[in-house]
């Protein structure tokens, strides 16, 4: 049994630097948005949106673990560190996939409640499970991967950018869970389309009259982006778990947090807060025109 994980593949400096730069940019972007949502009184989001941003920070940190400890290149990394990362990278796609699914499910519930029950959506046991379920599945995948790594260190490898395990078990579990999330998201988005088609006039009136109902632009952006996220995570993860990682696969993995930040994490209200020096006088007026849980 080796004292350290075997190194597989030679690092390409340009690809490695790009990989880490994209991950850091996406993680920092989501952290900035999350901090803005917590501290600013003019930015409002629902809990599932907070969770969505938080999971992408976790995703970024999972792939950055070796670089944070200065062991991404050079001699084989510390065994405990490599075991930890090999578990986290299998759990991260599951966590982000189900946080995206939770976001779209919350959207379905909000639209249904606004159109059919004529009341404001609020926090309840359903929201609690939407927040908790991604972490339960995340924990299951991590425990399974940890068990495999700890029982046989020979399963551990360090690629040019992160540690992983040779066993097919954790990647199979993760892949199936991500595919399930993708299928459920497609069903939810079809359901949203049907509901809006049937009650379009009422929805338009509600979107114009109340901040509790997301605008059509926000709705469209969320629906298409969550679908894009799940497809991209599925493709990237499929590439990542092969033993011959391509440059394209590496870059897809690293660009996902930044893409999530640019397409869904950031909104007009967040930009408005960040550019406070351009409009100090109309901040209060702007606060009354935001969507709760949207832009």
pLDDT at 290: 45
Which residue range is the domain that position 199 belongs to?
A: 6-287
| Per-residue pLDDT tens over the stretch 108-146 | 887 777 776 655 555 578 888 999 999 999 999 999 989
Yes or no: say if 51 and 131 are a contact pair by the CB < 8 Å rule: yes
Tokens representing residue 81 in the block: 């560190």
Quickly state the pLDDT bin for 288 (edges 50, 70, 90).
Answer: very low
Specify if 56 maps to a domain: yes
What φ, ψ does residue 12 adopt, rounded to 5°?
-95, 115
pLDDT digits (tens, 9 = 90+) for 225-254: 666 666 666 665 565 555 455 677 778 788
Closest to 225 (Cα-Cα) out of 266, 190, 200, 260: 260
- Indicate whether 98 belongs to any domain: yes
State the pTM of this model: 0.82
d(CA 262, CA 257) in angstroms, rounded, equals: 9
* Number of structural domains found in the chain: 1
The answer to the question of residue 294 being in a domain is: no
Question: What average pLDDT does the chain have?
Answer: 77
Q: CB of 89 within 8 A of CB of 156?
A: no
Q: Is residue 115 part of a domain?
A: yes
d(CA 180, CA 150): 28
pLDDT at residue 95 greater than cutoff 90 = yes
Quick check: is 110 in a domain? yes
In this structure, is residue 292 part of a structural domain? Answer: no
What pLDDT, on the 0 to 100 scale, is given for residue 41? Answer: 75
Helix axes 13-39, 247-260, angle to 10 degrees: 10
Instruction: Please name the residues in contact with 248: beta carbons below 8 A apart, sequence gap of 6 or more.
Output: 239
Report which of residues 114 and 175 the model is more confident about.
Answer: 175
Question: What are the tens digits of pLDDT across the range 71-94?
Answer: 877 778 888 899 999 999 999 989
State yes or no: pLDDT of 5 exceeds 70.
Answer: no
Q: What ranges in 199-246 are assigned the alpha helix state H? A: 200-209, 216-240
CATH of residue 114's domain is: 1.20.1070.10
Say if 295 falls within a structural domain: no
Q: Is residue 172 part of a domain?
A: yes
Distance CA 165, CA 152 (A): 10
């Amino acid at each position: 049994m080796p004292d350290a994980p075997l190194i597989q593949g030679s690092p390409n400096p340009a690809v490695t630097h790009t990989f880490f730069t994209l991950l850091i940019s996406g993680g920092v972007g989501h952290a900035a948005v999350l901090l803005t949502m917590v501290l600013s009184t003019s930015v409002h989001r629902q809990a599932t949106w907070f969770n969505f941003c938080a999971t992408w920070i976790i995703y970024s940190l999972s792939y950055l673990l070796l670089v944070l400890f200065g062991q991404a290149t050079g001699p084989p990394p510390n065994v405990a560190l490599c075991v930890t990362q090999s578990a986290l990278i299998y759990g991260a796609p599951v966590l982000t996939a189900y946080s995206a699914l939770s976001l779209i499910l919350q959207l379905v519930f909000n639209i249904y409640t606004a159109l059919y029950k004529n009341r404001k959506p609020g926090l309840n046991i359903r929201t609690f499970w939407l927040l908790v379920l991604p972490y339960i599945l995340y924990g299951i995948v991590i425990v399974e991967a940890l068990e495999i790594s700890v029982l046989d260190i020979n399963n551990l490898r360090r690629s040019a950018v992160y540690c992983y395990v040779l066993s097919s078990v954790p990647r199979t579990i993760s892949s199936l869970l991500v595919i399930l999330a993708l299928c459920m998201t497609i069903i939810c988005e079809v359901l949203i389309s049907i509901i809006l088609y049937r009650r379009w006039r009422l929805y338009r009136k509600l979107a114009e009259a109340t901040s509790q109902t997301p605008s059509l632009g926000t709705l469209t952006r969320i629906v298409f982006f969550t679908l894009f996220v799940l497809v991209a995570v599925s493709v990237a993860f499929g590439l990542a778990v092969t033993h011959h990682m391509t440059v394209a696969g590496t870059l897809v993995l690293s660009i996902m947090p930044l893409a999530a930040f640019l397409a869904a994490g950031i909104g007009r209200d967040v930009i408005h807060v960040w550019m406070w020096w351009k409009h100090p006088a109309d901040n209060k007026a702007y606060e009354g025109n935001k969507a709760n849980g949207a832009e």
